[in-house]
């Protein structure tokens, strides 16, 4: 019932409040983008769609910053949507022979191979089976995340929560340092330089950063603060914190207690997602945007994400360049585990750095991508030769993605079927 209320709430917006261009078959997607933009929350959004390697939709709505309409130049912090970017870079490096999925990471990064991590491989990390999902007990506070080298050292000293390959737990924060640290050790150069040389330049991307340069900060669409009301109602009054339990943990909510009956430990998600003092950490400050936190603070334009996925939708080939070899593409797009995830509450069907695509009905078994905590997301469907990206700057947070993204994805697939087959259906 709650889901229906939320869906009803986000479907009542205006249908013609968008800018940009798209082919006729994708006009319904433009309408939905406009329709779901929150009227009570300042901000905006962008969508990009590619079909058969060609851009067919570049759409914008709302403001990127106060008084500044969203357009093609703007980028947005997209949280875990960026995991797929560093994963794609990894697959390119595997294709180039620099990395191997099943070589222990300690062979690339000797300092990593201690405290039970000797057998962890890239495959384990890319499919979230390394056991290194706990950020809360790996660093003392969230401010440490601003220091790239300190974070690499922290994971050199970390101990996995389970033996590699024996379980699945979403590495919500740790993923980027584990992958990025390995890449730097192998390539002997900063992650940003490797990203530029092997992904950004070959694809001609204009808006892909883990650590935004000072001269690009003006392009970042940041949350727009609402004017504070002079009236304070009861719901705005901060409630006193409940006392910690005997284990020093906050008490579980009723919903979490119900979830725990299914065998999931809600504290595992907290350990994976929330380092200590996270409430004092600002991802959108200049300092937060310029740090290198590949799992959580990647900043992208919608076009860059969609173009990267367009290459993946074409099996790793872009404009006659083979960026990812066929045998590597087969590996990365194959589901590695159907096991229940200890952190994510729904089946993820982890590939190597990507998960299943969530829709409101369409079946897309060959599609894969990644969502972000704020409801951003990008994906490709090789069967349809289609790729899609959605970014925004308004407040929204959900570990399994936002209803808006699910609806946009559903609509994009329906529009694609209209284009390809001359008809569309809900399923």
- CATH number at 402 reads 3.40.710.10
Give the closest residue to 64 by CA, choosing from 409, 316, 359, 301: 301
Task: Say yes or no to pLDDT of 273 above 50.
Answer: yes
Q: What is the pLDDT of residues 338-347, one digit of tens each?
A: 999 999 988 9
Give the closest residue to 172 by CA, choosing from 307, 268, 290, 292: 268
> Quick check: is 345 in a domain?
no
Task: Say yes or no to pLDDT of 203 above 90.
Answer: yes
Q: Which of 35-44, 87-96, 222-231, 285-294 is the least confident region?
A: 222-231
Q: Which residues are CB-neighbours of 94 under 8 A, at least 6 positions away?
A: 100, 101, 122, 328
- Nearest 5°: the CA angle 407, 369, 412 is 35
> Quick check: is 25 in a domain?
yes
Q: Tell me the pTM.
A: 0.92
Residue 411's domain comprises 2-75+209-222+298-322+351-421
Task: Say yes or no to pLDDT of 242 above 80.
Answer: no
Task: Say yes or no to pLDDT of 41 above 90.
Answer: no
> Quick check: is 102 in a domain?
no
- Percentage of the chain modeled with pLDDT above 70: 89
- Percentage of the chain modeled with pLDDT above 90: 82
Task: Say yes or no to pLDDT of 231 above 60.
Answer: no
| pLDDT for 4 | 37
Cα gap 46→29, rounded to integer Å: 11
Strand partners, 44: 62
Radius of gyration for the chain, computed over Cα atoms and rounded to the nearest angstrom? 21
Beta strands of 252-365 (E only): which ranges? Answer: 299-300, 317-318, 321-322
Average pLDDT over all residues of the chain: 91
Task: Say yes or no to pLDDT of 5 above 80.
Answer: no
> Quick check: is 143 in a domain?
no
What is the average pLDDT across 187-200? 98
> Quick check: is 59 in a domain?
yes
Cα gap 170→239, rounded to integer Å: 31
| pLDDT for 239 | 53
Cα gap 194→200, rounded to integer Å: 9
Contact in structure between 51 and 392 (CB atoms under 8 Å): no
Contact in structure between 49 and 55 (CB atoms under 8 Å): yes
- The 8-class DSSP code of residue 45 comes to E
Task: Say yes or no to pLDDT of 330 above 90.
Answer: yes
Cα gap 27→29, rounded to integer Å: 5
> Quick check: is 230 in a domain?
no
Structure confidence at residue 235 as a pLDDT band (50, 70, 90): very low
> Quick check: is 328 in a domain?
no
> Quick check: is 27 in a domain?
yes
What is the average pLDDT across 175-187? 98
| pLDDT for 232 | 45
Structure confidence at residue 244 as a pLDDT band (50, 70, 90): low
What is the number of structural domains in the chain? 1
What is the average pLDDT across 359-375? 95
């Amino acid at each position: 019932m709650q889901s229906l209320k939320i869906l009803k709430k986000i479907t009542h917006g205006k249908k013609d409040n968008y800018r940009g261009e798209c082919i006729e078959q994708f006009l319904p997607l433009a309408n939905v983008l406009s329709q779901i933009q929150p009227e009570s929350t300042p901000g905006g959004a962008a969508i990009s769609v590619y079909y058969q390697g060609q851009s067919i939709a570049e759409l914008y709505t709302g403001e990127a910053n106060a008084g500044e309409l969203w357009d093609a130049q703007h980028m947005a912090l997209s949280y875990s949507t960026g995991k797929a970017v560093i994963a794609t870079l990894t697959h390119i490096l595997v294709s180039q022979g620099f990395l191997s999925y099943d070589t222990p990471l300690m062979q690339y990064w000797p300092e990593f191979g201690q405290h039970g991590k000797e057998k962890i491989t890239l495959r384990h990390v890319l499919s979230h089976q390394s056991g290194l999902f706990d950020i809360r007990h790996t660093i003392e506070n969230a401010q440490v995340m601003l220091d790239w080298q300190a974070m690499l050292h922290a994971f050199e000293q970390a101990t996995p929560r389970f033996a590699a390959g024996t379980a699945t737990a979403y590495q919500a924060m740790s993923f980027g340092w584990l992958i990025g640290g390995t890449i730097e050790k192998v390539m002997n150069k900063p992650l940003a330089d490797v990203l530029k040389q092997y992904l950004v330049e070959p694809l001609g991307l204009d808006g892909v950063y883990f650590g935004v340069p000072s001269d690009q900060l003006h392009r970042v669409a940041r949350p727009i603060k609402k004017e504070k009301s002079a009236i304070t109602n009861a719901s705005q009054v901060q409630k006193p914190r409940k006392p910690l339990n005997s284990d020093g943990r906050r008490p579980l909510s009723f919903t979490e207690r119900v979830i725990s009956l299914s065998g999931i430990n809600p504290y595992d998600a907290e350990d994976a997602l929330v380092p200590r003092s996270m409430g004092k950490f600002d991802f959108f400050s200049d300092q937060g945007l310029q740090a290198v936190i590949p799992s959580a603070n990647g900043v992208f334009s919608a076009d860059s994400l969609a173009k990267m996925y367009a290459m993946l939708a074409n099996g790793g080939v872009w404009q006659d360049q083979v960026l990812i070899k066929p045998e590597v593409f087969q590996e990365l797009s194959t589901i590695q585990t159907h096991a229940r995830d200890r952190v994510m509450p729904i089946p993820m069907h982890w590939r190597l750095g990507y998960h299943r695509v969530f829709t409101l009905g369409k079946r897309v078994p060959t599609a894969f991508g990644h969502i972000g905590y704020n409801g951003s997301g990008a994906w490709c469907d090789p069967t349809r030769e289609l790729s899609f990206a959605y970014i925004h700057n308004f407040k929204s947070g959900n570990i399994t993605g936002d209803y808006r993204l699910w609806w946009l994805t559903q609509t994009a697939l329906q529009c694609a079927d209209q284009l390809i087959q001359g008809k569309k259906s809900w399923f």
